[in-house]
Amino acid sequence: MKRVHNGSISIAEIINDPFNFTYNEICGAIGESGAKSIYSLLYKKDFVKKARSIWIKEVIKDAQANKYIFELSDNKYIETVSIKRRTGVSACVSAQVGCPCKCIFCESGKNGFIRNLSASEIVQQVIYLKERVNRIVFMGIGEPLFNYDVLIKSIHILRDRNGLDFPTDGITISTIGTIKMLKKIREEHIKIQLTLSLHAAAQKVRDYLMPATRGNDINETVKAALSYSKRHNRKLVVAYLLLRGINDSASDIKKLVEWFKGENAMINLLEYNKTSGALTSVDKRRLEHFKNSLLSYGIEAKIRSSRGRNINAACGQLASRYNKT
Ligand code: SF4
């Protein structure tokens, strides 16, 4: 392959997979005016839709969400969900094929990890949705911070003003929150929204529900996530899946209050989307009680309605039946 300019990428590589490169990388290879033209063709016109390396295999629809199953060039599959909100559409994007984390409430982790996605495959999930997306949430299959460099690169591509010009504050990363990765993303100069998948207020419970977080002290995890929110002046969203008899006690409420009282944080209480496991969701009354208790202590808390449940597109339900490990 012929290398040009700064020697980092070649013209052949750009032609082969144009969505995989930042504006600066293309500039380095072919100069500014060429980069401007390519970014305009890729992101402002339909011209390069044939240059894709992902294809829509199937779209499953319901009133609140559409689930897109994309086939990748190596015949692996990922799922992307578009969720209709009052003010627009969120794209729930995958970062990996399969997931290494094996959270016990989640179908996506059950088939194991196959590979990381490329920046190109992440970017294309957004641009090939048939809806006009005004929020991107990395809450699909995979742990985005375990595909760190690609994740950051894809965000740079999506927000580049020569291309899609996606607003940074419209991008959310949802993470299981290993302390190491929370500290790493804190140092980035991108002001994205962070959601910490906490799901427990006790170390033992978190270790059980989310085995990939073992070895990460729960108090330090919360501290690291709050530190991100302070540094970037963003509200920390805490996802908390309520499970009967596991993480719904008075002592759990007490711990959450201890951590988040007076902090710029909001707790999203999630209902369990029953998959095949032995876990049980709480009933509506318990859910309301949990929320009201947090509110009474001055903690911002909401029950997040789960969209896409009918089409197995809600949180924890994404799992491509096409992939064979
Ligand atoms: S909840 Fe997220 S991190 Fe955990 S197994 Fe599922 S996809 Fe992976």
The pLDDT of residue 2: 37
Q: Could you tell me where the DSSP H helices lie in the chain?
A: 11-16, 23-30, 32-43, 119-127, 148-159, 179-186, 203-209, 218-232, 250-260, 284-296
Distance 156 CA to ligand 1 centre (A): 24
**Is the shortest distance between the CB of 102 and ligand 1 below 6 Å?**
yes
> Residue with structure tokens 């170390």?
203
Distance 108 CA to ligand 1 centre (A): 6
Distance 100 CA to ligand 1 centre (A): 8
Distance CA(126)–CA(98), nearest Å, equals 19
**Is the shortest distance between the CB of 140 and ligand 1 below 6 Å?**
no
Residue with CA at minimum distance from ligand 1 atom 5: 109
Atom of ligand 1 nearest to the CA of 197: 1
pLDDT tens string, the chain, 325 residues long: the values are 333 444 589 999 999 899 999 999 999 999 999 999 999 999 987 655 556 779 889 999 988 899 999 999 999 999 999 999 999 999 999 999 999 999 998 887 777 899 999 999 999 999 988 788 999 999 999 999 999 999 999 999 999 999 999 999 899 999 999 999 999 999 999 989 999 999 999 999 999 999 999 999 999 999 999 999 999 999 999 999 999 999 999 999 999 999 999 999 999 999 887 655 678 889 999 999 999 999 999 999 999 876 666 556 555 566 556 675 4
List, in sequence order, every residue forming a beta bridge with 196; answer none if it has no partner. Answer: 175, 238
* Catalytic pick among 25, 27, 79, 92: 79
Distance 104 CA to ligand 1 centre (A): 9
Residue 238's nearest CA partner among 254, 259, 220, 209 is 259
Distance CA(316)–CA(134), nearest Å, equals 23
The pLDDT of residue 321: 63
**Is the shortest distance between the CB of 141 and ligand 1 below 6 Å?**
yes
Distance 3 CA to ligand 1 centre (A): 39
**Is the shortest distance between the CB of 125 and ligand 1 below 6 Å?**
no
According to CATH, where is 3.20.20.70 located in the chain? Answer: 52-311
Domain 52-311 CATH (choose: 3.20.20.70, 3.40.50.720, 3.40.190.10, 3.30.70.270):
3.20.20.70
Distance CA(147)–CA(181), nearest Å, equals 10
The DSSP code sequence of 142-161 is S-GGGGHHHHHHHHHHHH-T
**Is the shortest distance between the CB of 101 and ligand 1 below 6 Å?**
yes
Amino acid at 67: K
**Is the shortest distance between the CB of 196 and ligand 1 below 6 Å?**
no
The pLDDT of residue 132: 84
**Is the shortest distance between the CB of 106 and ligand 1 below 6 Å?**
yes
* Relative orientation angle of helices 179-186 and 218-232, to the nearest 10 degrees: 10
Distance 78 CA to ligand 1 centre (A): 14
**Is the shortest distance between the CB of 176 and ligand 1 below 6 Å?**
yes
**Is the shortest distance between the CB of 271 and ligand 1 below 6 Å?**
no
What is the three-class DSSP state of 119? helix
Atom of ligand 1 nearest to the CA of 315: 1
Amino acid at 108: S
List, in sequence order, every residue forming a beta bridge with 71; answer none if it has no partner. Answer: 55, 77
Is 79 annotated as catalytic?
yes
Q: How many CA atoms lie within 13 A of 223 on its CB side?
A: 7
Residue with CA at minimum distance from ligand 1 atom 4: 103
Atom of ligand 1 nearest to the CA of 141: 7
Q: Are strands 65-72 and 54-61 parallel, antiparallel or unpaired?
A: antiparallel
Dihedral sign of CA atoms 3, 8, 11, 13 in order: positive
The pLDDT of residue 3: 38
